[in-house]
Amino acid sequence: MTDCIFCKIIKGELPGDFVYKNDSVAVFKSIKPSAPIHLLVVPQINRHIGSINDLEEGDRAIVSELFLVAKKVAKDFNLDQTGYKLVFNVGRGGGQLIDHLHLHLLGGWKNVEASRKNMP
């Protein structure tokens, strides 16, 4: 998708603060964090997937990879012991503003009350 912000970030056409990349997934910081640590786990594959709504049977591998990368990066940021949230917004009614599938990885709050106040 030529006008997709996340496609442009992945291709290096727009700046992105990357914390991890492999062949199929990139992770970069959210420009407007909803948590002390707010990362976006994003597929970088040939097919542009808009949201969970657009997933097909053949997308099992990339969906698994999003979760496994999220788990790895959470550990890299020392969130594995303190805990974290993984969130998919789906469509405008679900709060999704960027139509490129992404998993929000959020954490770093000081206590459980703070962790329950903000959603991406």
Q: Which residues here bind ligand 5GP, judged by CB under 6 A? A: 5, 16, 28-32, 40, 89, 95-98, 120
- Name which of Zn ion, ligand 5GP, none residue 31 binds, using a CB cut-off of 5 to 8 Å depending on partner kind: ligand 5GP
Q: How many CB atoms lie within 10 A of CB 31?
A: 12
C-beta of 96 vs 115, nearer to ligand 5GP? 96
- Name which of Zn ion, ligand 5GP, none residue 83 binds, using a CB cut-off of 5 to 8 Å depending on partner kind: none
Query: For residues 8 and 60, is the Cβ–Cβ distance under 8 A?
Result: no
- Name which of ligand 5GP, Zn ion, none residue 98 binds, using a CB cut-off of 5 to 8 Å depending on partner kind: ligand 5GP
Which amino acid is it at 84?
Answer: Y
Residue 38 a catalytic site member:
no
What are the DSSP E strand ranges found in 1-120? Answer: 18-21, 25-29, 37-43, 84-87, 103-107
Nearest to 42 by CA among 85, 96, 105, 92: 105
Where does this chain bind Zn ion (CB under 5 A)?
1, 4, 6-7, 100
C-beta of 24 vs 51, nearer to ligand 5GP? 51
Q: Which DSSP category does 117 fall into?
A: T
C-beta of 84 vs 99, nearer to Zn ion? 99
Q: How many CB atoms lie within 10 A of CB 66?
A: 22
CB of 96 to Zn ion, least distance (A): 12
Catalytic residues: 102
